Amino acid sequence: MVQGTVNWNTQLDKKWLQEYVDDWVAFYQKATEEGEVASYIPILAEANPNHLGIAIHGKNGMRICSGDVNTTFTIQSISKVISFMVACMERGVSYVLDRVDVEPTGEAFNSIMHLEMKSLNKPFNPFVNAGALTVTSMLEGKTSKEKLAPLLKLLEKIIGYRPKINQAVFKSENDTSARNRAIGYYLVETGFLESDLEVTLETYFKQCSIEVTVDDLARIGLILANDGEDPDSDEEIIPRQIARITKALMLTCGMYDASGKFATYVGIPAKSGVSGGIVAVAPPRVRNAPFPFIEGCGIGVFGPALESRGNSIAGMKLLKHIASQWDLSIF
């Protein structure tokens, strides 16, 4: 791999950037050996652990991608970003945040422990399963189809086509859902669930089973990087306040219980999912330095071999490297 400091000033041309990214992906692909694919949802264990792909989207259609970019995978927990934004758009930010907190837990995403440890019993944040189920229960509609429709519509607006729900993944998760059901029953008992439990679970498992590619994740990242607007058409896709809160939550709670480390060592909002996807958001930098994507970019990564917290092991390393090379940190 190319070592040392690069003078990006002379290297901003797309061909050069492509060569660097290809080089980095080839290098970090070896790190996939250090992780393991998720198996608690049985069908996810069928993923190829050696896959690694990345897409980086910027303004004016600038796109760099490398590695396994054509593989589709299920969005899993990254859907919590979408459901949170839709719930805020439908119900208003205060309504949602009155019912779900914005604090990191430092515990696993499906931990039950904290639910009983805080006086209010309010789920800690929208990205742990307790918070995500609560958010999903707030979505308008009585059936899972009605609740999912605005999620799919928002995604369609962002990625340019209507994504599919992978029925096999939905079934696999639904068949092995004891822990999420336990969380759901607890939320019913404490009065946080606003819809029927079965409808909420079905909606949640289906939103997690939406199929995406790294390019789709990069598009989501790009819109968030631009505070909710499409940087090329200037169309508002997500209200600015909601986009900003979402980015704050991604930075503090997006990478499971490695969120602090990711914020410290990479320094950009991101959200990962157990299928190995990561969406990362690099907002425009105010400093006038000769770095690629100075006007901001969205990054989508896929690498199903995970580290112990549930994040793509090679994906995290690749993002850390790119963020340091291109000075992407927001700090």
Note the residues at the interface with ligand GLU (CB under 6 A): 76-77, 109-110, 129, 173, 180, 208, 273-274, 310
Report the nearest approach of ligand GLU to the CB of residue 64 (Å). Answer: 26
| 274 in active site | yes
| 329 in active site | no
Report the nearest approach of ligand GLU to the CB of residue 173 (Å). Answer: 5
Angle of the 79-91 helix axis to the 129-138 helix axis, nearest 10: 40
Report the nearest approach of ligand GLU to the CB of residue 47 (Å). Answer: 13
| 37 in active site | no
Identify the active-site residue in 96, 204, 275, 317.
204
CB 110 within 8 A of CB 183: yes
- Residue closest to ligand GLU when measured from CB atoms: 77
User: Would you say 150 or 273 has its CB closer to ligand GLU?
Assistant: 273
Identify the active-site residue in 21, 80, 137, 301.
80
28: Cβ–Cβ under 8 A, 6 or more apart, which residues?
Answer: 52, 314, 317, 318, 321
| 186 in active site | no
Identify the active-site residue in 20, 28, 186, 256.
256
Report the nearest approach of ligand GLU to the CB of residue 273 (Å). Answer: 4
| 15 in active site | no
User: Would you say 99 or 271 has its CB closer to ligand GLU?
Assistant: 271
Task: Pinpoint the alpha helices (H) of the chain.
Answer: 14-29, 79-91, 93-99, 129-138, 144-159, 167-175, 178-190, 197-208, 214-225, 240-253, 259-265, 313-326
Identify the active-site residue in 21, 28, 37, 77.
77
Distance in angstroms (rounded) separating the CA atoms of residues 319 and 283 = 15
User: Would you say 21 or 41 has its CB closer to ligand GLU?
Assistant: 41
Report the nearest approach of ligand GLU to the CB of residue 293 (Å). Answer: 27
User: Would you say 44 or 96 has its CB closer to ligand GLU?
Assistant: 44
Q: Are strands 73-74 and 53-58 parallel, antiparallel or unpaired?
A: unpaired
Burial state string for 161-185 with b = 16 or more CB within 10 A and e = fewer than 16: eebebbeebbebbbeebeebeebbe
Residues annotated as part of the active site: 77, 80, 204, 256, 274
